[in-house]
Amino acid sequence: MSRPIVPPAPAQRSPRWLSGREILAVLGSLAVVVLLARLGVWQLDRGREKQALAARIAERERLSPLQLGPQGVDLASAQWRPAVARGEWAGAWTVYLQNRQYRGVAGFWVLTPLRLQGSDKYLMVLRGWAAPDVHAPLLVPPVPTPSGPVEVRGRVAPAPSPWFSFAKDPPGARLRQNVQLQQFAQYHHILMFPYVLQQLGPSSQGLVRDWPKPDLGMQRNYGYALQWFAMSATCLGLWLFFTLRTLSRRRRGRQPGAAA
């Protein structure tokens, strides 16, 4: 008995366009491209915000000095504005923040509380930068503190940013890595404002007052934006390359006489 002749099944060919799974991959790739580009736009916005803040700071520096008294000021509106404070130094409570740089040299920031005239409130004054002793760099340099009423001119500034430290500074230490103004005030049982007066003027008493401009980090934001845009463009280029290559191969596969 003869066997029936079964014609061979037609060869399965790849679809001309993308399959459902490949379409999902394309959509996911486009989502990544858009996300990276959006992050770049966000960093540009942050850079522009900081640029506007730098313009406001420059404008505040040209304003008339504030008179700092017991009533205090709003840091958000007074930050970096010129100011004058009158009172008496509490020289016994001077602190030295170590490892503070000036022109590549690690020295000390010297801070002394000022008891404001006619009150029991204190204002921490960042008096300047002191160079270390070349023979004993870990010893605090001798910085004289005048007695009696004084007038200090400077600008309102936020408290010094805390630095990372493995050990916690003793609350009464003069030489330290950081100073938390509220903790300092609690330890000495005094009232103190949560900002400082950054003293300006020529160098005196062994202190340098050549303060750098506030670093708002806008250049970093623009650099990050460039990186995000570059990654977005790279992902877009790779997506176009692999997608077009896949479609080109499938079109060639459908041409007559193409290899199976």
Q: Are 94 and 67 in contact (CB under 8 A)?
A: no
Residue 86 scores a pLDDT above 90: yes
CA–CA dist 115, 191 (Å, integer):
10
Distances (CA, A) of 82 to 52, 66, 140, 152, 171: 19, 6, 29, 11, 30
Q: Are 131 and 141 in contact (CB under 8 A)?
A: yes
User: What's the pTM?
Assistant: 0.67
Is the sign of the CA dihedral 173, 210, 82, 144 positive or negative?
Answer: positive
Residue 243 scores a pLDDT above 70: yes
Per-residue pLDDT band at 260 (split at 50, 70, 90): very low
Q: Are 200 and 126 in contact (CB under 8 A)?
A: no
Residue 33 scores a pLDDT above 60: yes
Question: For residue 32, how many C-alpha atoms fall within 13 Å in the half-sphere facing its CB?
Answer: 16
Per-residue pLDDT band at 207 (split at 50, 70, 90): very high
Selection from 147-156, 222-231, 251-260 with the highest mean pLDDT: 147-156
What's 150's DSSP letter? Answer: E
Comparing 28-42, 134-148, 166-180, which segment has the lowest mean pLDDT? 134-148
Q: What is the pLDDT at residue 200?
A: 93
Comparing 4-13, 27-36, 145-154, which segment has the lowest mean pLDDT? 4-13
Q: What is the pLDDT at residue 71?
A: 92
Q: What is the pLDDT at residue 206?
A: 85
Per-residue pLDDT band at 13 (split at 50, 70, 90): low
**Mean pLDDT across the chain:** 84
CA–CA dist 74, 83 (Å, integer):
13
CA–CA dist 202, 205 (Å, integer):
10
Q: Which residues pair with 100 in a beta bridge?
A: 107
Angle CA 49–55–58, to nearest 5:
145
